[in-house]
Amino acid sequence: MILTVSVAVERWPVAGYFIISRGAKSHVDVVLCKVSDGTHTGIAEATPIYYEGESAESCAEEITRFVARYPELDRAVLLQNMPRGAARNALDCALWDLECRQRNMSLAQLAGLPGPVSLISAFTISLGEPETMEAQARQASFNGQRLLKLKLSGKDDRERVAAVHRGAPDARLIVDANESWNDLDIAAEAAQLAQYSVELIEQPVSAGQDHLLSGVRSPVPLCADESCHTSADVERLAPFYDVVNIKLDKAGGLTEAIAMAHAAQAMGMKIMVGCMLSTSLAIRPAFALAQLAQWVDLDGPLLLAKDRVDAFQFEFGRILPSESPS
């Protein structure tokens, strides 16, 4: 079927600053993609993977070029002919949304996913001085957040985690090392952090340096993020990690993300579903997939100064099912 595709770039301001080891962001640029059959329109949003050199403009251009070359779009054509990344994610999720509307089905029904039910989502504490992160954690706990995700840098991380634990002693914690622990004794670091209710460590070593985890006996599960992009990566990473973090922008859409989840389950690995900075529109397909996950990190909209009108509702640390048709 020949479909009409339109694409636009939107800028959304961040609430304050979002700070990780790679730098601070005051806004996020996203790609908005619409796919129409003349009667129904599917819509989706994707966030460029900036650390891989993507930009919203380059993703929009990639979509335009692809559609010109492959006017008869479907998800199989995307997987076979378009590289993974945010551009493919935008097109893939727009096609899922279009089919939901054509068939008057929910995304969970169409994709064969369970639920949806409300899920506890992590809330991100930006990288900062320990006392700043402690204050942020205290406020997040006061606001009802029960699962906090800390951005770390490989330096003074124990002090940062201890400070967050002081600020929110009843909260569960995930730490994101952002590839910064290459030169650390990871088992020893994990043992120290376990006393502060840390239950997951994301990407302790640089992508491509996963062999550094060979033989590491960590008391806290290790999660592959930047190292794991598609289902083809899962088996290779299984000897080093216990969990994979699936993000639709990395995978290049919900179609590949579902394949990643099934590959992880087949290898006996657990699943985390995460997101980039985004509005609720990008969270819709991720939330559907997150019904399979043991950890959920879909707080992207909460980190923005504002969200779309049909936003997800977050209550007491939970993300509630959307009323959207998809």
Active site residue 250: no
Which of 303, 296, 297, 238 is closest to 267 using CA atoms?
Answer: 238
Tokens of 319: 């993300």
Q: Which string of b and e fits 16-45 if b means at least 16 CB within 10 Å?
A: eebbbeeeebeebbbbbbbbbeeebbbbbb
Cβ count within 10 A of residue 175: 27
Of the residues 151, 155, 250, 306, which is catalytic?
Answer: 151
- What residues pair up with 296 in beta bridges, in sequence order? 273
Of the residues 34, 247, 250, 270, which is catalytic?
Answer: 247
What is the C-alpha separation between 97 and 92, in angstroms, rounded? 9
Query: Residue 45 in contact with residue 33, Cβ under 8 Å?
Result: yes
Tokens of 72: 């008869």
Active site residue 306: no
The pairing of strands 147-151 and 172-176 is parallel
DSSP 152: -
What is the C-alpha separation between 202 and 242, in angstroms, rounded? 10
Helix ranges, 146-270 (H): 157-167, 186-194, 231-237, 248-251, 254-266
Residue 125 phi/psi, 5-degree rounding, is -100, 115
H or E stretch including 265?
helix 254-266
What is the maximal distance between C-alpha atoms in the chain?
59
Positions marked catalytic: 151, 247
